[in-house]
Structure 1
């Protein structure tokens, strides 16, 4: 991963980056005052270049100016928008792409650099992300970035938080991008075990098919029953001694989704390796909480299954008995995510006694219909909890929108065969899925949040800090939120 260092004076000046900010729609951009000003002649050139090049200062704008024989040899003007954290994050990603053929760059940061440092670091590390299963193709040359600040020691913890957040987001992207020819429930569980090794305060338990059957996890077993790769339930627990709050995170972990007997058409199936992005996000957030030693207990549950078509696959119309005894009728085996989540949530409420319960899931295509490709749909009955999590998601540079839980839609869940109908064909797909999950929250109903993040879990192209493919959505927002609970 790209090496980023804090320095008080530039050590090398082959490529120097100066930030410029947006002043207004009809006003040229302006240089951002930096903690260590550049040499007078460099500053004068930069000031002259801004109007000559018609630079606007929009976040992510990059203009390179060659200075043969000079120091620095290259001057880069970098737009940071209004200068908020998100503007710096977009700038960092654009810089990582523009400077990929450089080996070292130096960036001047402002005197008040906390937001700039966090945003720029995350942008650099996320914008330079690439995933390849093989070694084909050349890696970017850029290996080192020096950030010039007034007091490196004072900002060390901010840099570490940004590095960790980006590293965990990259981990979630790696897990999600991995093809399902490699990734099955056992493989995913092994990745968690490897990542958690060495953390003394992390406790891991992985349940296999026999334990799941013995303990009554009927939803996970039903969904995973059609695959030769048996299901798993990963339970990862971060237990700091000073924790006052216990949060349970649950993430949908369908390592490939054919739709089962209700088989998907090919266009809808081709990216179903991403159907475990919720599990990747909550696992990565828990590992991040441990790395940052956040003073909040976090237990993550990742129900993992491969939803396949075979003679042992569960059928439309089957009744599933979930952990704790509630039953559900499912007439669509492609509505499988809520079945595994229901088991994990019921287990969390009955056995783990959390203060707060949050689940993330690539649950419905209706999420994208309602909110487009970059917003998650957030559901909760708790106004304060919803507002706090939304604020953290926004601050982290992700997006979500709160959706309703209408009381009169609950009747859609009625079944003649079971306690609940898991997949009623009555419209409002994302809302009804959330209402179904709510039935498994028990006494935590008013302390629960569900996030349907199917749409923002994947990007079709590069945009700001996103790269094409898995986005790692949810990791940044969860870490930002967990940091407020200590």
Structure 2
């Protein structure tokens, strides 16, 4: 898998600047018009005043906080570039991480020396740097891009390193999710996905793989129906992290459709290649579980993912078929492309029956309708519990991951009524994200606090974002880790 760049922290060495041949990244305050810090003054002296002239220029004034400007091949320095990053010493978390991302985007082979001085949130700067330095090159035949090393010079390196340690675990979880979502479906089969999760037993997770025979014995007819047309066997993988006391675990449930053709309700060819990301919910759950294990979280969390492939075949389920869920409810399959909710229905019910969780959140790239409603800036949030929903939205805000709560209600639920079964799996385009959430709610017990996260618009982007290149974003790993930290670890 892709691992975040290792970052070393050390005290400022004013003699190191002149000989360094990589990139120098200097963090300077927004109102700085003259070099103030010891590092800045040293660089200004070596460049014969060039730094001060830049800081006093209109070009610096136009740079937004968290952004940067390169001064290429500055005279007096061996560095290939001097990157001046605008961020105050007391910059907030968002600005510090954005500033780090500006540096991470430019990390190359010679490495980078970051001069952060007495910046209070230097650890957050390191997280932003690590997240943006990600690249997915597993299937390119050219030599991989060499990046690093990265050294941050700070006032108190031991304190910064201590603060950065759990953040490094978060970055590792985000990278694991991104790798899974970026993988092509001929590589990330259901077998391969399950094997990657089983390997996390080395980190202390308890991992159990339920095969098709197990799922049949449990009565998971809704989930099994989705994978009937595929050569890849359907599975449910259960990951347990028991870092708390004897309390009931918190449950995370993910949709893991490793490829979605739409089944017999075949999708249009244009854009179908992006359906390798239809396992994004399972990818996020997996990344969160990896993070919890790496940072030895003091909480009990169980992650469950339903792994299937939705293919058209002589054995594939048809529109009009009726399947029976583990709960016992029957479902008329109106559209085989509304398959994710069938997978989640059984896994949600299994999670509650087996683990009696204190709360539950599911994630899925569930509907195109959520992209119509919210674009690619926010995940759609649906919930039966204000307390859990508010706590999650607070965690999203803290971590800078966009999320927006949408309504639910009886009128939407009534649209699911079927002529031949207990419910339909699809009931038209209007309110499509909401009716999908209403479908899932039927498989959530009244006593279980629950949120449904529709990440169809946020799991993978066609353009680069602040913290990721084009492709998988890893959205949700940071927010869910923050929720668990705040709600269960205090």
Is the TM value for this pair above 0.5? yes
Closer, same or farther: CA 267–329 of 1 in aligned 2, 3 Å: same
Q: CA shift at 1:72, angstroms?
A: 6.4
Equivalent runs, 1:96-175 vs 2, <5 Å:
96-101=104-109, 103-109=110-116, 111-114=118-121, 116-118=122-124, 120-175=125-180
Q: CA shift at 1:110, angstroms?
A: 5.0
SS in 2 for 1:298: strand
Q: CA shift at 1:388, angstroms?
A: 1.4
Closer, same or farther: CA 22–432 of 1 in aligned 2, 3 Å: farther
Whether the 8 Å contact between 1:250 and 1:300 is mirrored in structure 2 is yes
**Counterparts of 1:134 and 1:74 in 2: how far apart (Å)?**
31
Moved more, 155-164 or 208-217: 155-164
2:334 to 328, 331, 338: 331
Unaligned runs of 5+ in 1: 24-28
Whether the 8 Å contact between 2:39 and 2:117 is mirrored in structure 1 is no
Whether the 8 Å contact between 2:230 and 2:313 is mirrored in structure 1 is yes
Q: CA shift at 1:350, angstroms?
A: 1.5
Is 1:79 the counterpart of 2:86? The answer is: yes
2:59 corresponding residue in structure 1? 54
Unaligned runs of 5+ in 2: none
1:188 corresponding residue in structure 2? 193
Q: CA shift at 1:457, angstroms?
A: 0.6
**Counterparts of 1:389 and 1:256 in 2: how far apart (Å)?**
29
Give a deviation string over 1:220-258, Cα, whole Å, max 9, x none. Answer: 100011101110000000011436462100010000000
Closer, same or farther: CA 139–355 of 1 in aligned 2, 3 Å: same
**Counterparts of 2:35 and 2:130 in 1: how far apart (Å)?**
22
Moved more, 325-334 or 59-68: 59-68
1:404 to 403, 407, 418: 407
**Counterparts of 2:144 and 2:101 in 1: how far apart (Å)?**
16
Closer, same or farther: CA 41–363 of 1 in aligned 2, 3 Å: closer
Q: Aligned pair count?
A: 474
Note the aligned Cα RMSD (angstroms).
Answer: 2.2
1:272 to 267, 271, 275: 275
Q: CA shift at 1:104, angstroms?
A: 2.7
Whether the 8 Å contact between 1:251 and 1:302 is mirrored in structure 2 is yes
**Counterparts of 1:32 and 1:224 in 2: how far apart (Å)?**
63
Whether the 8 Å contact between 2:35 and 2:51 is mirrored in structure 1 is no
TM-score normalised by length of structure 1: 0.92
1:89 to 88, 94, 97: 97
SS in 2 for 1:359: strand
Q: CA shift at 1:78, angstroms?
A: 1.2
2:315 corresponding residue in structure 1? 312
1:451 to 433, 450, 453: 453
Whether the 8 Å contact between 1:62 and 1:94 is mirrored in structure 2 is no
2:203 to 199, 205, 211: 199
Q: CA shift at 1:216, angstroms?
A: 0.8
Equivalent runs, 1:22-37 vs 2, <5 Å:
22=30, 37=39
**Counterparts of 2:290 and 2:460 in 1: how far apart (Å)?**
22
Is 1:420 the counterpart of 2:423? The answer is: yes
TM-score normalised by length of structure 2: 0.91
Moved more, 145-154 or 323-332: 145-154
Whether the 8 Å contact between 2:207 and 2:237 is mirrored in structure 1 is yes
**Counterparts of 1:252 and 1:173 in 2: how far apart (Å)?**
15
SS in 1 for 2:371: helix
Moved more, 46-55 or 319-328: 46-55
**Counterparts of 2:34 and 2:347 in 1: how far apart (Å)?**
52
Whether the 8 Å contact between 2:132 and 2:466 is mirrored in structure 1 is yes
1:26 corresponding residue in structure 2? none
**Counterparts of 2:43 and 2:136 in 1: how far apart (Å)?**
41
SS in 2 for 1:175: helix
**Counterparts of 2:139 and 2:99 in 1: how far apart (Å)?**
29
SS in 2 for 1:142: coil
1:344 corresponding residue in structure 2? 347
